[in-house]
Amino acid sequence: MSSKNPLIVFFHKLGSAPHFYRISGKLIPWLWAIFVVLAAAGTYWGLFRAPPDYLQGESARIMYVHVPAAWLSMMIYALMAIMGFIALVWRIRLAEILMISSAPIGAAFTIIALATGSLWGRPTWGTYWVWDARLTSELVLLFLYLGAMGLHSAIDEPRKAARATSLLVLVGVINLPIIHYSVEWWNTLHQPASIGVKGNSIDPSMLWPLLINATAAKFYYGANLLTRTRLRLMEQDSRKNWVRNILVPNKGQSTDGGDH
């Protein structure tokens, strides 16, 4: 079943390692550039232009880091589940690599969210750690990330490792909303979420830098993910010609691969 649809052809090409390497190589500098511009703007706005919170004072500014990190930590896990599903059903190797390359980034953002959350908790709640619903589910999310990374690194054969991890992440993602709601139910000490579908309780002067920083974080994820994925692809394909051609451009298909 061949298709002439240019979009489908593009996606099929993207699935092949050399094409992905080339296209992502062009994309990465742009992603980094957009990230730097947005993060600088959002951080400046958040730290110097936005007003301090009338209750929490200056310490509320930590939310310009905390909230984007917390959002992204959950989004990355959901994306890992989608890529894991693709990897399991269609056995697309690129999806496997994208899935596992996302894990350390997601775990890092989870740690950032936990650290900033507990730093914010010190002046607000008077203690660094409170077993509040959202901090606890973020902690459980960190364990889910660690489990996925641990399982992947424990299995030697890369494709088997990716398939096992994909399945684990899928089971985890079914559980994630259940964990979230059960933890929320278990303890609702935290102030209710300020940004929701029904309308925001946050002033636009504070919402804008927040949204800009959240977007910046997503571009950071994109740039970091593509960089990691390219490295993993090269590592796995280190004996293939396309990698040789990149590492040793002039020699073409020489026998000396140039790796190691």
Partner 1 sequence: MSALTGFNTILRRDLLIAVRKGPEVLMPLAFLLVVVSLFPLGIGPGPALLERMGGGVIWISALLATVISLDTLFRSDFEDGSLDQLLTSGIPASVIALAKITAYWLVTGLPIVLLSPLLALWMNVPTDTWGILMVSLALGTPVLSLLGAVAAALTLGLKRGGQFLALLVFPLYVPVLITGTGAVMAASDRLPYTPFLGLLLAGLLVSLAVMPLATGAALRISVS
Cross-strand pairs, 234:
none
106 binds partner 1 (CB under 8 A): no
User: Binding segment for partner 1 among 98-106, 115-123, 146-154, 251-259 (CB under 8 A)?
Assistant: 146-154
Among 175, 205, 241, 254, binds partner 1 (CB under 8 A): 175
90 binds partner 1 (CB under 8 A): no
User: Binding segment for partner 1 among 59-67, 156-164, 203-211, 221-229 (CB under 8 A)?
Assistant: 156-164
Among 93, 163, 190, 232, binds partner 1 (CB under 8 A): 163
16 binds partner 1 (CB under 8 A): no
140 binds partner 1 (CB under 8 A): yes
User: Can you tell me the distance from the alpha carbon of 246 to that of 237, in angstroms, rounded to the nearest whole number?
Assistant: 12
Going by C-alpha positions, the residue among 227, 259, 13, 17 that lies closest to residue 101 is: 227
User: Binding segment for partner 1 among 19-27, 174-182, 189-197, 223-231 (CB under 8 A)?
Assistant: 174-182
111 binds partner 1 (CB under 8 A): no
Q: With contact defined as beta carbons under 8 Å apart, do 55 and 123 qualify? A: no
**Residue ranges in 59-88 that form contacts with partner 1 under rule CB under 8 A:** 88
40 binds partner 1 (CB under 8 A): no
User: Can you tell me the distance from the alpha carbon of 99 to that of 118, in angstroms, rounded to the nearest whole number?
Assistant: 29
Among 147, 158, 257, 258, binds partner 1 (CB under 8 A): 147
Write down the least CB distance from residue 78 to partner 1, Å: 15
Q: With contact defined as beta carbons under 8 Å apart, do 226 and 212 qualify? A: no
183 binds partner 1 (CB under 8 A): yes
**Residues forming the site for partner 1 (CB under 8 A):** 88, 140-141, 143-144, 146-147, 150-151, 154-155, 160, 163-164, 167-168, 170-172, 174-175, 178-179, 182-183, 185-186
